[in-house]
Amino acid sequence: MTEQNPYEQLRVTESSSFEDIQAAKSRLRAECEGNEEQIRKIDAAYDAVLMDRLRLRQEGKIKVPDRIRFPEKLAEPPSNPKVDLPNNSPAWMQRLVDTPSRADILRPLGVSVGLSALVIFAPTAVQIALIGGVGSTFYFLYRKERKLGRAVLLTFVGLLLGLLLGSFTYEFVAGLFANLPIGIGVDTFASILTFLLLWLVSSFLH
């Protein structure tokens, strides 16, 4: 199969205006949102078209606006670059596991640390802290892909696992807190473990 030339890839012709070419690029990028490989091809085709236009301009065949003299300056940097999982990863893992930016990790971490400190120094605030943890986890998950059901499900799973693990493992680790000036009961311990799991869920899943 013959490979499409850059004009065909952008669905424009050699007689298309610069504005038409820009509009075609933006439209195709929007249609391929989430497909990094296809977006890369669109950007490459766009740059190739601009370079061809500059060549034709130098030959005096067309008039090209000065603003596209250096097309590399017009390249749109990715707003939030992420590293894709290896192509050999299972499909379900690629759909579930996220590769977050530093901000996507630190923001939920700050919330989890703050809530953990709250239940340590104010054990009676466990329920309020858990509500805050659930709400913040749902918020961080939902803002990634705007999928309500998925955000609710992952938040609920993180909450349930945290509380269950905290309750079942408390007796095994209670001795570690025996010498601390602040007593840590089972509710506090389970809450802290829950905040840890909720942080992992909100940061590394989507």
Concatenated DSSP letters of the chain: -PPPPHHHHHT--TT--HHHHHHHHHHHHHHTTT-HHHHHHHHHHHHHHHHHHHHHHHTTSS---GGGSSGGGG----SS--PPPPTTS-HHHHHHB----HHHHHHHHHHHHHHHHHHHH-GGGHHHHHHHHHHHHHHHHHHHH--HHHHHHHHHHHHHHHHHHHHHHHHHHGGGGTTSSS---HHHHHHHHHHHHHHHHHHHB-
Residue 90 lies in a domain: no
Same domain, 199 and 106: yes
Same domain, 63 and 105: no
Q: Provide the domain count of the chain.
A: 2
Q: Which of these three, 81, 114, 145, is where a domain ends? A: 81
**Segment 121-142, tens digit of pLDDT:** 888 889 999 999 999 999 988 8
Same domain, 119 and 190: yes
Residue 19 lies in a domain: yes
Mean confidence (pLDDT) of the chain: 80
Residue 193 lies in a domain: yes
Same domain, 47 and 102: no
At residue 65, the pLDDT reads 55
pLDDT (average), residues 80-105: 69
Same domain, 153 and 123: yes
Q: What is the pTM of this model?
A: 0.53
**Segment 4-56, tens digit of pLDDT:** 788 888 888 888 888 888 888 888 988 888 888 888 988 998 898 888 888 87
As to burial, measured by CB atoms within 10 angstroms (0-12 exposed, 13-18 middle, 19+ buried), residue 129 is buried
Same domain, 50 and 129: no
pLDDT (average), residues 51-72: 65
Domain that holds residue 36: 6-81
